[in-house]
A and B are shown apart, each in its own frame.
Chain A
């Protein structure tokens, strides 16, 4: 007989020998069911809200993606099946946007994790003012992305009067038009500036959660500083780094503010979300196509996330005993 454990809600089968009387098993089943429901109820408000607000638009997107629906010039919406999807795979612009997304996400994540790790290591020491430095480094993460983009565009990167060019000018170098010549990298630079603090915080927590005794044992065993880092610290940080990368990717795939704020959405900076937006209410007015694109983005994200979440499952697995 299958029963649901009201303590852990796991399903089990009865021990082989004694079977309870009918009356008792009826009461037991009722208790188990009541308990299972009392557990679900706290979850329901959040769940229902989220389903309503996110799934209705999602289902609508799926529906629109199967139609041909353009608004400029306005034409009636007709059902087209998967034509939008097949078109997407041959569309150069779509492919370019996918490629930009890959580059932008990859480099922002990788660089901010690397710099974050470096800063974390520097801040994992005790010295006067370490709290102040940490506060200073934290701030870029708090700054509004549009503000960050505008400030960098007008005051840092600016070819004539920006601070970077002022600095290189002191060294005798020619001024460089960062945003016009390298728009994608300008975007990546600002993204890295803003996300390094986030990575740093997580990795700092990872560094400080190392076991003192393990580190001391390694020193007693004669390991060098570099050896300790490579063989003890890095493996310990592995799950933190993976988490950083996963969380960072989830947010960094969706970048929009910087693309618009820095380079005005110039072609070489258009990632997939931006491209989809442009195709729909951002100017293209081709709603059917845009919806198909957005569904494809979801599928791609699911694939990568399932990959990445298997990593997190490793982290979740350890809680099973709870």
Chain B
């Protein structure tokens, strides 16, 4: 008889902290996610890329 204790889920959340102090919350970037969390992560990542492009344009 074996009692299993598996991991139900593993998640990784990330916040990017730029050198100038700007914080970009990326939400759940890896692991088991709900559709809502996946959409939120996609939206946050797009925002991060937009912010990055804007920062480069402005030097």
> Do A and B associate with each other?
no
- Residues on B lying within 8 angstroms of A by beta carbon are none
- Residues on A lying within 8 angstroms of B by beta carbon are none
